[in-house]
Chain A
Amino acid sequence: MRFKAMTAVAALMLAVPGVVSAGPDDDKLVINGEIEMTTKAPVPEHMEDTNMDQIMSGWHFRSDETQALEMDDFDNPGMIFVDAGMEQWNTVEGSEGNSCASCHEDPSSMKGVRAVYPKWDADAEEVQTLAMQINDCRENNMGAEPYGYTSGQMANMEALISLQSRGMPVDVAIDGPARETWEQGKELYYTRTGQLELSCANCHEDSYGMMIRADHLSQGQINGFPTYRLKNARLNTVHGRFKGCVRDTRAETYAPGSPEFVALELYVASRGNGLSVEGPSVRN
């Protein structure tokens, strides 16, 4: 493993018991020693009324050990799922005798895709997430069953597609026909839900950098999804994570794939405009 990016200061802090982590670190994320990732970026214009001075990948809030796992593809446990996604890519399924490869050839044809989703689909007249687009292809171009919205197969496919855009800046459009959905997502982001009456913003805008019991709060960015979590040892999807966070406010959650979570995904993605696409990332 590569620990060379670990600064001496950070190493010292780790060694001193009782030192509570104070805010994100200044480490640099370079993957495989060559792909330089943008993990801190200026606050997008639409967030200028917040008190934030920078947007940051969740990578900065993880321990040096966890960070290191994402710095080399041989160490990144998420890459196994990319391989599984590759197999799915080439597997013919459904009534039409097609695989993804039948229409799209090599996955490298997906370069740039992850960076702009969710995005407005003019034919469907709605904002579509990458998961919705994947299932759209499965149902309408392959005649195959859709993947479960937060299933392992969906996460594998998202990981394969995200990897093609790795290092490219997230750039979702929030104007034009997507605006209404974006506004809805923004409203959800600031709504205090559940018996604990907490909003996404309470934790990820007002309190990032602070500890909430044993958890170091990040900005809740989704540029790193799907995310391999050490906690459950698998790839996690965006809506799976949203569901967990809403549940933790003692609320009745929205369903993965619901219009509410689609809107929230567009809004949260837009808060990361400018950060590198990082999936599959590694978190705890």
Chain B
Amino acid sequence: MKLSTTILAAAVLAAGSAAADTIAPGEVQYGEYGAVEESLTGKPGDPENGAKVMKTKSIGNCISCHKVSALDDAPFHGEIGPPLDGVGDRWNEAELRGIVANAKKTYPGTMMPAYYKVEGFVRPGKAYTGKAPDGELDPLLTAQQIEDVVAFLMTLKYDE
């Protein structure tokens, strides 16, 4: 039911409308292997902003764990996760959306944080203050930032 409204919203969007319903973290539908078919915002992602989210320490900070050759202008790439070069060939958009939103659905027990999740944590804090949170948690990235990151990841193809 919820699903069909969003599909409808997406269809309307595709037809040129700007207003879209954002899917809340608790409402994201993950497939059996962790993929998320539907866009979280219904709006296309901006790969340029996605690149910025991935390399900025105070935002996604993805390169703290992943090497990404296309982001070589930012210093210090980590090696905890696999290099993301060519990741747009290895996974489709829905799979990448699922990995970024909550990688634990694709890789159970992975060290990669869930970027679009707000519940189920042990002693969550108020960002990096070490203090208790004031109220409800925001996800690590907004729905649009997730879409932007996915759009950027889709550009990471091996050029043959």
Contact = CB atoms under 8 A, between A and B. Distances in A.
B80 interface: yes
A20 interface: yes
Interface in A43-84: none
Contacts of B78: 210-213
Contacts of A16: none
A232 B56 CA distance: 23
Nearest to A195: B124
A195 B113 contact: yes
Given A210-B78, A211-B76, A197 B114 contact: yes
B122 A213 contact: no
B128 A247 contact: yes
A212 B125 contact: no
Contacts of A111: none
B129 A194 contact: no
A210 B124 contact: no
Nearest to B127: A250
A202 B109 CA distance: 10
A251 interface: yes
Interface residues of A, number: 25
B16 interface: no
Interface in A132-166: none
A5 B140 CA distance: 44
Contacts of A193: 121-123
Contacts of A246: 130
A214 B75 contact: yes
Interface in B36-84: 57, 61, 63-65, 75-80
Interface string A192-227: 111111100010001100111110000000000000
A253 B125 contact: yes
Contacts, number: 78
Nearest to B64: A213
Interface residues of B, number: 29
A contact face: mostly helix, strand, loop, or mixed: loop
A188 to B, nearest CB: 10
Given A191-B122, A195-B124, A253 B130 contact: yes
B111 interface: yes
Contacts of B127: 250
Interface string B133-144: 100010010000
Interface string B2-22: 000000000000000000000
Nearest 9 CB-CB pairings of A with B? A247-B130, A213-B64, A214-B76, A253-B130, A252-B125, A196-B113, A252-B132, A251-B125, A251-B123
Interface of A: 20, 191-198, 202, 206-207, 210-214, 243, 246-248, 250-253
22 contacts: A20-B79, A193-B121, A193-B123, A194-B122, A194-B123, A194-B124, A195-B137, A195-B140, A210-B80, A211-B76, A212-B65, A213-B77, A243-B130, A247-B128, A250-B124, A251-B122, A251-B123, A251-B125, A252-B126, A252-B130, A252-B132, A253-B125
